[in-house]
A and B are shown apart, each in its own frame.
Chain A
């Protein structure tokens, strides 16, 4: 009987831990677009968009990197609402199923040392602080102010046949 109670306790704890781990993983995947908080800060110069994006992670450094990646992800899949003196910016990829249809491409593109990093430049000097670095539960929520090289990113995705060109078909 004692062994049975021990087994049930261990199994319950293991299940709970596995659940927590899976939840953390979900927060950082590029595909979970509903998670991304991002907005236009101001109008960028030729070909760039000035964006502020947020991300969660167990430490601020990791959250900062995820926030930068989220800015690129939002530019590709979600676009940005009007704000900061700019009109609305639509998603580069207009096909809502593009992330699953081109999963292999995006898995490679968004891996930690993937090409996404070429298309984002941080405007923060060092790590964000104050209201841009919040302690939430056991982790951190960090907001990164970045310049996304929007036109270069769009061109790369168009050349890779992921995004549709404006003059496609003509």
Chain B
């Protein structure tokens, strides 16, 4: 009897774990315009040309209005089942992580942690969906009002998946903090409505991802090499057509050295009911190319939930 109960319990846990798609992470990031117009910017010389970049750390440390808005938005999103990643905390974590990485070593040999230059580059604050935020308290005579722009950007496809923008009611009595709170309350439902449409579309037509096929240098083959009378690029495109949801994908660009696929719709769950991301999905192509007649080794490189690169030639 005990065995039956434990079997049922394990099955239920397995179903609940595998029946769910990978949940995207969301983070509020002040827009470049917001940071740079308020002086939260860094400038550096890139071989003669001046580059201006937003300084998020300075913005979050000095701008109380920004923190108020982010805090309000976080509360609303957590209530809807999407606790936001906190940019300030993420930046702090990265700083302490770097310090710890440089100090950590093994007990027996004193060996440090292996980290390639690309690993170090990947240690940045990132999320799957960025809530790009701009706002400004404006004045009309004695009255103040808040103009508010919120864009939800898919970090991989660069598409604007949800947005809400507008200006609040002018008021001469209300404090700035109250106007800012009102601005968030006024536009978050509209934003979440659009975000929900984006999720519904992903569940219906598949998650939209970006796939890049690249070549390592000095290989004795390229994407124009022929296998069974067809070029390698044709074989790859046929594989994409067979495996993308309803065969939906778009070949953005292709040469003998690279192929770029956009708007590739991959299933949210595989046939076993397990969650799928771009890396997991393209791994099947990696296996396909490793087989006869291609016998091609490749390196799978992940760029988050929605973008993966397959670099042909070596591991």
Q: Chain A residues in contact with chain B, CB under 8 A?
A: 42-46, 79, 82, 84-90, 94, 150-151, 164-170
Contact = CB atoms under 8 A, between A and B. Distances in A.
Interface in B188-229: 189-193, 195-196, 199-200, 203
A120 B162 CA distance: 29
Interface of B: 20-24, 79-82, 164, 166, 168-169, 182, 185-187, 189-193, 195-196, 199-200, 203, 268
A169 B22 CA distance: 9
Contacts of B185: 43-46, 86
B21 A151 contact: no
Contacts of A169: 20-21, 199, 203, 268
Secondary structure dominating the interface of A:
loop
A84 to B, nearest CB: 7
Given A84-B169, A166-B80, A169-B203, A90 B186 contact: no
A5 B187 CA distance: 65
A90 to B, nearest CB: 4
A166 B152 CA distance: 15
A44 B184 CA distance: 11
Contact of A164 (B23, B168, B196): B196
A45 B76 CA distance: 12
Contact of B81 (A85, A150, A165): A165
Contacts of A85: 168-169, 182, 186
Contacts of A168: 199
Contacts of B190: 82, 87-90
B182 A90 contact: no
27 contacts: A43-B169, A43-B182, A44-B185, A45-B185, A82-B190, A86-B185, A87-B166, A87-B187, A87-B189, A88-B190, A88-B193, A89-B189, A89-B193, A90-B189, A90-B190, A90-B193, A94-B196, A151-B79, A166-B192, A166-B195, A167-B23, A167-B81, A167-B82, A168-B199, A169-B20, A169-B203, A169-B268
Interface core residue of B22, B185, B192, B200 (most chain A CB under 10 Å): B185
Contacts of A43: 168-169, 182, 185-186
